[in-house]
């Protein structure tokens, strides 16, 4: 198996892990509240109580970042035929030959992954995220994802030539971006372990 | 609790800044939504002079549409205002910055004359479109009220979801929710008011009671609290002597704690700056952060399931006023409820697995108390926790620490639980923990701390009559009234001596009698053909007694007597 596919599996695994840890975190809070509440309550009531506003700036930035994340992921893996020969951008000859091809691809990705990009950031409302951490995420995540996008575009431009360094750089930036996007979940889960 | 926090003066503004720190990511001055704060509190800074607001960038001018904002109290008064001229001519007070004196009695007098002088009220009503007290009225109507649930606009907007958590905020035009006045009226209204000021400083000390009383006169049932930071010992950084600051502090404390239910605040939270100074070695920003952190369990909006009703501020207000045999002041056979003195005790720890007993113990220890006191002297305790604790465990822990039996605890320990998120903290607010060890022992009790402050105030009064009376162009009328206020037989000095006696005897409360500089009958136009309303016989006798005493102290009268005798 190509190492890129193993790396993709790693990305998806970490994404799934983050979402699972979020469910475990909520489950743990629910268990502790049930133990101490002294009265019955519904899960939706608890979720509503746990909501913590994070700010429109942060919410807007995260919604954008998750959209950008999926675009970067698609560009890294599906721009050229090198990783998935049957599923890639160049198979859409009309789009690929257009001046606006990459934009159309990006827009299409945003539309298709829109539901995920809209719903995933909702998990942040259950975590206490410090202002410094928010500002770090808002600044670094787009930068990393844009680096990944730039590297992917470069590999697309030089195709059929390849440059594994640029691809690896693109992957590393995407991986770091994903880790930062999931940082509140990891730190919230770790905090609850103490 | 979601208060509108009003920071008054320098200290009030600095502490308020901690509460209003924006918790959203800041995008180089651009914003998609409201200014997000912890607990979604709102706030504004009140100052008395424009130059005090210049050396900072956090607050903008509220009336220019900036938030967080400041209000200069006398901005509504023009330089050539007839009201200003009248007050200057009759009382020697200047309502504008020129000649502005921020001593507590000066600011107290400025507000009182508007209530006491019918002629001044008439002029003010004519000039300010029906507002008889333009300073307080401006602050309330333009500054504070729009942020509260009382404001009609906020009532109208209550059903709209808050911008802060709205993921669709990006689909709106940026700042579309802000009106030209800068107030984000799409957000929820505040359910209470919390005034924050230093006691013993300048603006805050002088303004806090007049403004709180005015707001109460407008809104009888709205929860209003004050947080006073008692000035530290020794000479402060501005060179103001301890006696002068302590005098300001006791004037403010007496005013705040002696207005009965429905006339003033609902409770005075006291913090001792001396305690914070020792803890943080003079690091004032750290001291301000400590005060803000201590109130977080109160402000955290995440109630335990099933406890959502605990955020009902009107209910909390009733609980705080609940009378015991000891917190009603008996006067002429009548019990008068006075606002309680509330001492906060706070402790925070990381991790979510510690026991409630140790958390309570740390909070009530000398390190956790924000004002010296003996916790076992409190007549009630209000406990706010963040963490996963059972209500009965919290009650038992607090009852044990305060040496209450379970029956007492059931009535006197009130628990408000909030959900934690990986850490634990507790705020225990002790009501009226008057008393302590006898005088002379190392100060760890409220009685001695307040006794010392009162003693210093009396000493300053005795040694500085010229400084108090002779300053800043007071009129003869004002000087006479001030003399009565400070040195008369029913004046402040006399009352402070009685306060010391009450403290020594362990009586509570220590401050029981409200004293005004310009009361309704003898203020303003008295002696100039002003109206005197109908009074009962006893009040008339008191007045005659006061007037005789005033005359006997007056140099002019004595000279006349000497002439007659000659």
- What's B347's domain CATH number? 3.30.1330.20
Is A55 close to B23, i.e. CB distance below 8 A?
Answer: yes
Give the least confident one: B153-162, B269-278, B401-410.
B153-162
Residue B530 pLDDT level (bands cut at 50, 70, 90) = very low
Is there a single domain that holds both residue B264 and residue B316? Answer: no
Provide residues of A within 8 Å CB-CB of chain B.
29, 32-33, 35-41, 45-46, 49-61, 63-64, 118, 121-122, 125, 127-128, 131, 134-135, 137-138, 188, 191-192, 194
Phi-psi region at B59: left, alpha or beta (left = phi > 0; alpha = psi -120 to 50): beta
- % helix / strand / coil in chain A, to the nearest 5? 80, 0, 20
DSSP symbol at B30? B
* CA dist., res. B432 & res. B200, Å (int): 21
- Other CB atoms within 10 A of residue B28 CB: 5
More confident position, B196 or B178: B196
Q: Residue B329: what pLDDT?
A: 61
Is there a single domain that holds both residue B361 and residue B247? Answer: no
DSSP lists the bridge partners of residue B230 as: B199, B272
More confident position, B354 or B431: B431
Tell me how many residue pairs between chain A and chain B have CB atoms under 8 A apart: 127
Is there a single domain that holds both residue B290 and residue B394? Answer: no
Residue B185 has pLDDT above 50, yes or no: no
Give the least confident one: B42-46, B218-222, B336-340, B439-443.
B439-443
Is there a single domain that holds both residue B247 and residue B353? Answer: no
* CA dist., res. B382 & res. B516, Å (int): 32
- Mutation test of the interface with chain B: which of A30, A33, A43, A60, choosing the one with the most B Cβ atoms within 10 A? A60
Q: Residue B63: what pLDDT?
A: 86
Q: Residue B359: what pLDDT?
A: 95
Q: Residue B239: what pLDDT?
A: 72
Q: Closest by alpha carbon to B378, among B454, B317, B426, B446?
A: B446
Q: Closest by alpha carbon to A123, among A36, A2, A23, A55?
A: A23
Is there a single domain that holds both residue B273 and residue B220? Answer: yes
Report the CATH number that the domain containing residue B243 is assigned in CATH. Answer: 3.40.50.1440
Asked if residue B63 is part of any domain, the answer here is yes
Domain that holds residue A57: 3-193
> pLDDT digits over B233-290, tens only?
887 766 778 888 999 999 999 999 999 888 899 999 999 999 999 999 989 999 999 9
Residue B533 has pLDDT above 70, yes or no: no
Give the least confident one: A144-153, B214-223, B550-559.
B550-559
Q: Residue B449: what pLDDT?
A: 92
pTM for this prediction = 0.86
> pLDDT digits over B2-33, tens only?
999 999 999 999 999 999 999 999 877 677 77
Using a pLDDT cut of 90, give the percent of chain B over it.
40
Is there a single domain that holds both residue B158 and residue B42? Answer: yes
Q: Give A4 to chain B, closest Cα distance, Å.
A: 34
Is there a single domain that holds both residue B162 and residue B76? Answer: yes
Domain that holds residue B98: 3-299
Is there a single domain that holds both residue B41 and residue B184? Answer: yes
Tell me what ipTM this predicted complex has.
Answer: 0.87
B452, B508 in Cβ contact below 8 A? no
Q: DSSP string covering B114-176, please?
A: HHH-HHHHHHHHHHTTT-S-HHHHHIIIIIIGGGBTTSHHHHHHTTSPPGGG-GGGGGSPTTT
Q: Residue B175: what pLDDT?
A: 36
Number of domains composing chain B: 2
Asked if residue B563 is part of any domain, the answer here is no
B302, A29 in Cβ contact below 8 A? no
Is A134 close to B36, i.e. CB distance below 8 A?
Answer: no
Q: Give me the mean pLDDT over the B284-310 stretch.
A: 90
Return per-residue pLDDT of chain A as tens, 194 residues: 678 889 999 999 999 999 999 999 999 999 999 888 888 888 888 888 888 899 999 999 999 999 999 999 999 999 888 888 888 888 888 888 888 888 999 999 999 999 999 999 999 999 989 999 999 999 999 999 999 999 999 998 888 888 889 999 999 999 999 999 999 999 988 877 65
DSSP symbol at B225? E
Asked if residue B494 is part of any domain, the answer here is no
- For residue B109 the two structure tokens come to 């007098």
B191, B222 in Cβ contact below 8 A? no
Is there a single domain that holds both residue B108 and residue B47? Answer: yes
Number of domains composing chain A: 1
Q: Closest by alpha carbon to B245, among B198, B197, B196?
A: B198
Is there a single domain that holds both residue B181 and residue B67? Answer: yes
Q: Give me the mean pLDDT over the B130-152 stretch.
A: 87
- For residue B45 the two structure tokens come to 């800074």
Q: Residue B134: what pLDDT?
A: 87
User: Which residues in chain B are contacts of A35 at CB distance < 8 A?
Assistant: 388, 390
User: Which residues in chain B are contacts of A41 at CB distance < 8 A?
Assistant: 305-306
User: Which residues in chain B are contacts of A32 at CB distance < 8 A?
Assistant: 352, 388
Q: Residue B341: what pLDDT?
A: 94
B37, B108 in Cβ contact below 8 A? no
Q: Residue B560: what pLDDT?
A: 79
Q: What is the mean pLDDT of chain B?
A: 82
Residue B187 pLDDT level (bands cut at 50, 70, 90) = low
Is there a single domain that holds both residue B359 and residue B403? Answer: yes
Tell me which residue has tokens 């909390």.
B316
Q: Residue B100: what pLDDT?
A: 58
Q: Closest by alpha carbon to B370, among B317, B449, B437?
A: B449
Asked if residue B65 is part of any domain, the answer here is yes
- Mutation test of the interface with chain B: which of A29, A44, A53, choosing the one with the most B Cβ atoms within 10 A? A53
More confident position, B400 or B155: B400
């Amino acid at each position: 198996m190509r190492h890129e596919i193993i790396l993709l599996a790693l990305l998806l695994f970490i994404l799934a892990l983050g979402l699972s840890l979020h469910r475990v975190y909520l489950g743990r809070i629910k268990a502790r509240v049930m133990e101490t509440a002294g009265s019955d309550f519904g899960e939706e009531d608890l979720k509503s109580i746990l909501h913590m506003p994070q700010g429109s700036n942060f919410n807007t930035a995260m919604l954008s970042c998750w959209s950008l994340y999926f675009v970067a992921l698609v560009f890294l893996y599906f721009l050229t035929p090198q990783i998935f020969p049957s599923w890639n951008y160049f198979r859409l000859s009309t789009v690929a030959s257009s001046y606006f091809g990459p934009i159309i691809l990006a827009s299409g990705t945003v539309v298709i992954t829109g539901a995920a990009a809209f719903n995933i950031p909702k998990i942040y409302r259950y975590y206490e995220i410090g202002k410094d951490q928010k500002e770090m995420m808002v600044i670094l995540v787009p930068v990393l994802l844009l680096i990944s996008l730039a590297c992917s575009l470069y590999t697309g431009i030089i195709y059929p030539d390849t440059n594994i360094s640029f691809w690896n750089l693109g992957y590393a930036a995407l991986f770091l971006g994903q880790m930062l996007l999931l940082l509140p979940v990891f730190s919230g889960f770790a905090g609850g372990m103490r | 609790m979601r208060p509108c926090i009003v920071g008054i003066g320098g200290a009030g503004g600095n502490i308020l800044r901690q509460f209003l720190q924006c918790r959203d990511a800041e995008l180089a001055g651009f914003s998609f939504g409201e200014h997000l704060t912890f607990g979604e509190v709102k706030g504004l800074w009140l100052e008395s002079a424009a130059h005090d607001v210049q050396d900072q960038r956090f607050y903008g001018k509220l009336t220019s549409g900036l938030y967080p904002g400041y209000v200069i109290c006398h901005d509504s008064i023009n330089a050539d205002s007839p009201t200003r001229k009248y007050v200057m001519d009759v009382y020697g007070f200047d309502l504008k910055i020129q000649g502005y004196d921020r001593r507590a009695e000066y600011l107290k007098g400025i507000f009182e004359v508007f209530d006491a002088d019918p002629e001044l009220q008439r002029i003010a009503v004519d000039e300010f479109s029906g507002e008889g007290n333009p300073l307080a009225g401006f602050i309330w109507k333009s500054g504070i009220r729009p942020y509260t649930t009382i404001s009609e606009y906020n009532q109208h907007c209550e059903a709209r979801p808050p911008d802060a958590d709205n993921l669709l905020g990006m689909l709106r035009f940026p700042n579309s929710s802000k009106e030209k006045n800068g107030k984000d009226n799409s957000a929820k209204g505040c359910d209470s008011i919390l005034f924050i000021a230093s006691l013993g400083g300048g603006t805050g000390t002088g303004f806090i009671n007049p403004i709180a009383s005015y707001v109460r006169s407008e809104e009888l049932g709205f929860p209003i609290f004050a947080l006073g930071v008692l000035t530290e010992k020794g000479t402060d950084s501005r060179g103001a002597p301890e006696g002068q600051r302590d005098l300001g502090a006791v004037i403010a404390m007496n005013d705040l704690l002696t207005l009965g239910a429905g006339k003033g605040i609902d409770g005075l939270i006291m913090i001792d700056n001396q305690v914070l100074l020792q803890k943080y070695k003079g690091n004032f920003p750290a001291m301000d952060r400590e005060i803000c952190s201590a109130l977080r369990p109160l402000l955290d909006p995440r109630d335990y399931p099933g406890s959502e009703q605990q955020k009902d501020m009107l209910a909390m207000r009733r609980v705080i006023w609940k009378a015991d045999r000891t917190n009603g002041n008996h006067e002429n056979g009548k019990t008068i409820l006075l606002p309680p003195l509330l001492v906060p005790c706070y402790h925070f720890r990381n991790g979510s697995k510690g026991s409630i007993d140790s958390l309570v113990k740390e909070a009530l220890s000398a390190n956790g108390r924000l004002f010296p006191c003996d916790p076992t002297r409190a007549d009630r305790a209000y406990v706010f926790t963040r963490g996963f604790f059972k209500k009965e465990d919290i009650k038992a822990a607090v009852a044990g620490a305060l040496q209450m039996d379970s029956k007492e605890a059931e009535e006197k320990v009130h628990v408000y639980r909030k959900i934690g998120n990986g850490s634990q903290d507790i705020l225990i607010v002790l009501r009226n923990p008057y008393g302590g060890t006898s005088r002379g022992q190392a100060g760890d009790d409220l009685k001695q701390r307040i006794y010392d402050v009162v003693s210093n105030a009396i000493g300053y009064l005795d040694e500085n009559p010229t400084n108090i009376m002779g300053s800043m162009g007071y009129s003869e009328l004002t000087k006479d009234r001030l003399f009565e206020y400070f040195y008369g037989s029913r004046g402040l000095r006399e009352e402070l001596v009685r306060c010391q006696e009450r403290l020594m005897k362990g009586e509570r409360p220590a401050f029981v009698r409200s004293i005004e500089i310009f009361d309704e009958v003898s203020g303003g136009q008295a002696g100039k053909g002003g109206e005197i309303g109908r009074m009962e016989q006893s009040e008339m006798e008191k007045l005659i007694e006061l007037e005789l005493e005033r005359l006997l102290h007056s140099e002019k009268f004595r000279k006349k007597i000497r002439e007659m005798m000659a």
